[in-house]
Structure formats: C-alpha cells, structure tokens
Chains A and B, each alone.
Chain A
Amino acid sequence: MLTRRTPLRAAAVAALLSMFAAPALAQEPGLTPTSIKIGLFGPLSGPSMSYGFDVMNAARMYYDKINAEGGIHGRKIELSVQDDRCNANDLVAAVKKLVEQDQVFLLNGASCSAAAVAGKDYVVRSGVPWLMLNASADGALYPPQPNIFGAFSISQRAMGGSIVEFAVKQLNAKKIGYINHDDAYGAWNLEAAQFQAKDNKVDLVVESVNPNISDVTAPLLKLRAANVDVLLIATYARPAQLILKKAYELGFTKPQVLAVNAIANVQQLSENVGSKDAFKNVYIQEVLADKPGSEKLKWVYDMYKTSYPDLASKPDHPQVYMPYGIPSAMAVVKALQDAGPDLTRAKFIEAAKKLNFDSGVMAGPIAFGENERAAQKASIFLKFDGAEMTRVPGAFASRWTYQGQ
C-alpha cells in the first residue's frame, strides 16, 4: 500500500544507496584524482640482490619518465617500495604491508620465482592486481589466476620451448640432448621442450640432474652415446659450467646451447670453464631484443645513466637484468592508460588481459590473454666464443600454451 511517506522512504533509500555507492568508487585503494599508488618490491638487499636491484631501478626510471610526461589520465604515479630479499617470507610480508598498510592500487614486483610463488595465495585472496618484475614464477602463473601477470622476461616453459625451436630451426637438429634439473623448474621447462620437440617431429633425449650435482660424467656420456645432434643445457649456472667443462674434456664437439637461466655472468662463465677451445660451438639464449649494449637497447642504458649517474659509474652497474624492469613497468602504464580515467582494479585487470605490445626491449611481444598470464615467449641466440657474442638472426618462440591441466 502506498502512503504519503513512500516517496520519502524511496528518497531515503536512494540517498543511503548513493552514500554507499559513491564511496565505493572513492575507496578504490591507492587512488586519488591526482595519484595512483603502486607497490614496487624486489630484492634491495641480501645474496640475491643482483636479480632485482637494478630491475627495480629500471621500473622506477620508467615511471619517473611517465610522470615527467604528465602521468596517466592526470594522475601521477607514486611508488611505495619494499625489500623482499628474494626470500619467500620477506616477500609475503612486503606484499601484505603494501596492500594492507600502504593501501596500494596494484603491485609491481618480484624478481625471484620461488619467492614469488609464495606470494600467490595471499594476492589471489586479496584481489589486488599484481604484475611481476622479472620473476618467471610458472607456479604462480599456471593455472592462470585472474589478478596475477608475470614472466616479462620469460617463463620456464617458454624458455624450454624456445630453446628447442632454436635447435630445430637454426641448428637443424633431429635428435636433441636436453639436460635439465630434477626439480619443479626442470619439470616446467621440460614440459614445453617436449611439446615443442613433438610439434617439430624431432627426438628429445632427456637427462635430469640434481642442482647440487658434482660429477656430470654420467649424463654427458649417455647423451654422447645417444649421438645427439645438439646439447641443450637448461640447468642453473654452476651445473651448466660443469657440463661445458666436462663436454670439452670428453671431446664432445656438437653444438651446445646454454639456456638463459644457465648464464649468470658471461665473463665469469668464460673464466670458470677455462679453455677458450671449449667455446668453439657454444650458443647462449638471450631474452632481450638484441645483445646487451647493442644500438637497439642503447636507450635503456642511456636512460639508466641519466637517472642514476652515481650508480652507473660503479663497475657492477647496471646489473645484467636491469632492462627487464622496463617491459613490466610499460605493461603497468599501458594497462592503466587502457583502463581509462574512471579507474578501478577490475577495469585495470581487464585491460591487462588484453595487453599486446612490442616493448622494444624483449625478444618477443608482451601479450596476455583470457587464459594466458605469462607475457613473453621468445628468445634470441648469441654465438659465444668465450669472449665475443655474435647475434644469430631471428627470434625463436615457444608454442606451448596452457591447456587446463
């Protein structure tokens, strides 16, 4: 029954609803009409600092550039920075502080995969958008989560697929020897390597070894006896160098390709292996668009020198992974631009899912999808003679996609 009070009640209810609705927009964390707060985190200290210190600096200098150009839809980027030490506990603590205390709009961080995977559950529960820095972190990207995006350098799976593609297309290998680790990372890169080998109709002979292995005679002898056309080394740096040394000692002369995670420092790699003759037929995988220091990437290194003149004057800077921070920051900026001026986390996540652009920094495009959270899937290859690197033409992409396993 309608009464005279009904319009008043309706107005009151409408007013009440609008009171809740308006703050809902206003209370989107980390947003003001003039600023967007981003939580930037990575290793600023500790033994793994080299994986992310300058990567964070690269992201920061890109955000500074965007701010200098006027920001995004009138909003300037504000950074709230945390140190995760590449440690799982520290990363989770850093992420919680950024989300709950600093109230950031989105997270942009993580340079180390194991630590990044530890942050996955909290980030999924909190719903905060998270774009990683250079962590590959397959464990956090597959199965895909709505609000987590990563692998701006390359995922373990894409690394495995890409290196097999190079062996087949460039080195014409029909029978490929593949040494990986017997851990989760090894399982991930092997999954895509096997897919790519099957897709290319070639044989993959696999030897999986422990990361702490001290004698690599057995896997190498077996692969030599199997008469493989090429040896792909998808281990960490120390085992990879032991394999190169042993291959030389055993007279293995077929092409040897080092995956990107097997190379921490090329100069040190050369010194550790010792003999220059060991590098007669060695290739290294690189996920940048060209070899470091090339004309194509000069702008990144120039920007670093301008932004951090004191750091740039030090002998160990910029660190090897520095450029990897750029595509991640680019993705954040592009998604913020695409989400429009009426920004919400939901709109940002939708925009991030549709990203597909050439960063000019990485070997392949930065592209996500409805069911794809790993950004970059291609790599280039450099012939390394122990001193000089020569670019092999072309980029080689992994074709493995998540099939809902």
Chain B
Amino acid sequence: MELEVLSLFLQQGIASGLVTGSIYALLALAIVIVFRTTDVANFAEGEVYMASAYLAFFLIAIVSMPFWIAVPATVFAVLIGASLFQRVVLTQVAAAKGVSVNLVIATLGLSYVLKGIVRATGFGDTPRSFPSVMGEGSVTLGSASLTYLDLTILGAALAIMAVFFWMFNYTKIGRAMRAVGMNRRASQLVGINLGHVQMLVWGLSGAISAVAAILIAPKLLMTADMGVVVTLAFAAAIIGGFTSLPGAVVGGFIIGITENLVGLFVSSRAINVAPFVVIMLVLIFMPQGLFGGKVRVRKV
C-alpha cells in the first residue's frame, strides 16, 4: 500500500470513525444515565430514538413545521413520553415487587410497542429522512473530509457529555441522581424524592435520544429497524464502564474508529464483528470497562 493511500485511509478512517462513534456515544449516554440512576438497562433506547426520528419527520416533512418549532417540540414530546413511561409503567412494575428483570422486560415491551406504532403509520416501509439542521457543505482536515453535519454530531456528543458530566458532579439534582443510583433507601431517608428523580432521568434520557435522532436521521436514514444501532451504543457503554459518562463517549469513539480501521485494513466483512471483539478484549483485560473504576468488593 502506498504511503499516500495509507495516510488517507488513516485520516479519513479516524475522522469518519469519530463521527460514527459520536452517534453511538449519544445513544450510550442515554443508556448510561438511566442505568446509573435506576439500575435498569433500557432495551427500548433504540426504539425511543427511532420513534423520535419519526416524530421529527412527521413534524418537519409532513406537517411542514418550521425547524425552530419542530426540534424543541420533538425533544419536549419525547422527554414527556419517556417520563410518563417511567411514572406509569415502570413504577407499577416495580411496585409489583417482582424480580428486577421485570423492569428490563418492560423496556423490551416498550420497544415492541414503539416499533409497532411506527410500522402502523406506513412510513416505516422505505428509508426516509428529513432535512438536516445543518446546511450542505464540508470541510477538509488534512486528507479527511467531513460535512458540517458530521462536525455538528461530533460537537453535540461532546457538549451533551460535558453538560451531563457537570450536572451529575456539580449540581444538586445531579448529586441527587447519583445518590439514588448508589443507595435508594438512604437517598429517600435524606429527603430525595425517588419518584421525581427517576422520572427526570428517564425524561432526560428521552431528550438525548430525541436530539440524537434529529441529528442522526438525515445521516443514517430512517427505517423502522434503525434502532438496531443501539447494540453498538450498548457496546460503547460496556467499553466505557457502563456507568461513566466520559466512558460512554470514549467507548463510542473507540467503536467508530475500530469499525473503520478494521474495514480499511482487514475486511469490510469484519466491520460489524469488530465492536464485539473490542468488548471481549476490554472485558478480559479490564472487566470494569475503561472508566468503570477499580473492582470493589462490598460486604453485604
């Protein structure tokens, strides 16, 4: 391989990988904030993201709503929807005092409901998209080329991660969320309203999903099965340690870049296998993930 081609492969592979990784990172962030606060792995995350994209599509492309109304309307609607799911469904499931896996099953149920609704609309039969929030155009960095939308997705992933990192570490509500995640009973004893906190976390997770959908749908296109990308978001979360916000973002970047470099230097057929090889390596050599901290043994 010529040096020029090798350089192009590396630069474009890494640049595009960072953008694709941002997509995984945004969805991983939504998964991680729910998990670290409620101990529930949200298997409906992919479908919440998918339904958000179709809601935005409906408002922008069908109703012809202006962007400045459609975007906040989508984010707000999904925030409310996710909060209500926590309040109406998960609270009831938790109150039944069954095993905690019931909560996960409830999220699976939500995923089927959302997919069914989108399919019933008839818009899920062919790939669709809506105009991007960013205009057409690209920038060249060295040999690599990235569109304005690519840069926006990358920036959004980093900004959302920073905002949530700040919120979790430096605000009262963020500390309350962490406290709920650490010990629910103790947090209630110090006056934290468990229901409100969990509802808020689900709502924020929905809002991240909606932002991700609005940014990503014009890039990856929409189908009723677009939520399958969440598998790679879970992979990103696992690599990052599953409870770490910076870990989710770094995990997303690692997967995005690995996919491209494996595709370029090994085989295109190996692209979809690569993230799972990375997970295996991380779990073998760092079972807590890259940012999951040291293994702690607690007396019970």
Q: Which residues of A contact B (CB under 8 A)?
A: 47-50, 182, 207-210, 212-215, 217-219, 221-222, 225, 237-238, 241-242, 245, 249-251, 264-265, 268, 271-272, 274-275
Contacts and interface: CB of A to CB of B under 8 A. Distances in A.
A177 to B, nearest CB: 12
Nearest to A273: B129
Interface string B142-156: 000101000000000
B8 A225 contact: yes
20 contacts: A47-B125, A50-B125, A209-B269, A210-B269, A210-B271, A212-B229, A212-B272, A213-B271, A214-B220, A214-B232, A215-B256, A215-B260, A218-B271, A225-B5, A237-B127, A238-B221, A242-B220, A242-B221, A249-B147, A264-B127
Contacts of A271: 128-129
Given A47-B119, A214-B220, A221 B13 contact: yes
A273 to B, nearest CB: 9
Given A210-B271, A215-B16, A242-B220, A221 B264 contact: yes
B150 to A, nearest CB: 9
Contacts of B259: 215, 218
B241 to A, nearest CB: 23
A238 B224 CA distance: 12
Interface string B243-259: 00000000000001001
Given A209-B271, A215-B259, A249-B147, A268 B224 contact: no
B138 interface: yes
A222 B221 contact: no
B12 A217 contact: yes
Contacts of A182: 268-269
Nearest to A209: B268
Given A208-B269, A241-B221, A251-B145, A217 B125 contact: no
A268 B126 contact: yes
Interface in B255-279: 256, 259-260, 262-264, 268-269, 271-272
Contacts of A237: 126-127
Nearest to A224: B8
B17 interface: yes
A13 to B, nearest CB: 63
B198 interface: no
A184 B104 CA distance: 34
A222 B260 CA distance: 11
Contact of B129 (A207, A208, A222, A272): A272
Residue of B13, B126, B225, B229 contacting most chain A CB atoms (<10 Å): B126
Contacts of A249: 138, 145, 147
A373 to B, nearest CB: 29
9 tightest Cβ-Cβ pairs between the two chains A and B: A218-B263, A217-B16, A215-B20, A264-B126, A210-B272, A238-B127, A219-B268, A207-B268, A218-B264
B41 to A, nearest CB: 21
Interface string B1-24: 000010011001100110110010
Contacts of A245: 219
A398 to B, nearest CB: 24
A168 B124 CA distance: 36
Contact of A250 (B145, B224, B268): B145
Contacts of A225: 5, 8-9
Contacts of A208: 268-269
Interface residues of B, number: 42
Contacts of A218: 13, 259-260, 262-264, 268, 271
Given A47-B119, A250-B145, 13 more contacts: A50-B126, A212-B225, A213-B272, A217-B17, A218-B13, A218-B259, A218-B262, A218-B268, A222-B263, A225-B5, A237-B127, A241-B127, A264-B126
B162 interface: no
B147 A221 contact: no
B55 to A, nearest CB: 18
Interface of B: 5, 8-9, 12-13, 16-17, 19-20, 23, 119, 124-129, 132, 136, 138, 145, 147, 218-221, 223-225, 228-229, 232, 256, 259-260, 262-264, 268-269, 271-272
B136 to A, nearest CB: 6
Contacts of B124: 47
Residue of A218, A237, A265, A268 contacting most chain B CB atoms (<10 Å): A218
A182 to B, nearest CB: 5
A290 B119 CA distance: 32
B100 to A, nearest CB: 30
Nearest to A271: B129
Nearest to A51: B125
Nearest to B17: A215
Contacts of B127: 237-238, 241, 264, 268, 272
Contacts of B219: 245
B8 A214 contact: no
Contacts of B269: 182, 208-210
A49 B120 CA distance: 11
Nearest to B5: A225
Contacts of A207: 268
B77 to A, nearest CB: 24
Contacts of A275: 136
B271 A221 contact: no
A274 B124 CA distance: 19
B262 to A, nearest CB: 8
A274 B138 CA distance: 14
Contacts of A242: 220-221
B215 to A, nearest CB: 14
A215 B272 CA distance: 10
A210 B259 CA distance: 12
A217 B8 contact: no
Contacts of A274: 129, 132, 136, 218
Contacts of B223: 238
Contacts of A209: 268-269, 271
A126 to B, nearest CB: 32
A217 B260 contact: yes
B12 A214 contact: no
A214 B268 contact: no
B8 A221 contact: yes
A211 to B, nearest CB: 9
Nearest to B263: A218
Contacts of B138: 249
Given A238-B223, A242-B220, A272-B129, A222 B12 contact: no
